Amino acid sequence: MKCKRCKFAPSVDAGGYQDECRYFEKYGTTWKDGQDGCTLHYKQLEKWDSEYTDSLGNMGLDMEMDFEHHGISMKAVIDHCKHMLGMDLQKCYHRNGKTFYRPYKNFWYGTEPGLEWFSHMGLATKTQDEGKLPCYHLTRHGMDWLERKIGVIIREKET
Report pLDDT for 2.
65
Number of alpha carbons in the 13 Å side-chain half-sphere of residue 114: 19
List, for residues 41-76, the tens digit of each pLDDT value: 888 888 888 888 777 777 766 666 677 777 888 888
Report pLDDT for 22.
74
Number of alpha carbons in the 13 Å side-chain half-sphere of residue 147: 19
Q: Measuring CA to CA, which residue among 140, 137, 142 is closest to residue 123?
A: 142
Contacts (Cβ under 8 Å, ≥6 apart) of 129 = none
pLDDT tens across the length of the chain (159 residues): 567 777 777 676 666 666 677 777 888 888 888 887 888 888 888 888 888 877 777 776 666 667 777 788 888 888 989 999 999 888 899 999 999 999 989 998 988 888 888 888 888 999 988 888 999 999 988 898 898 889 899 988 654
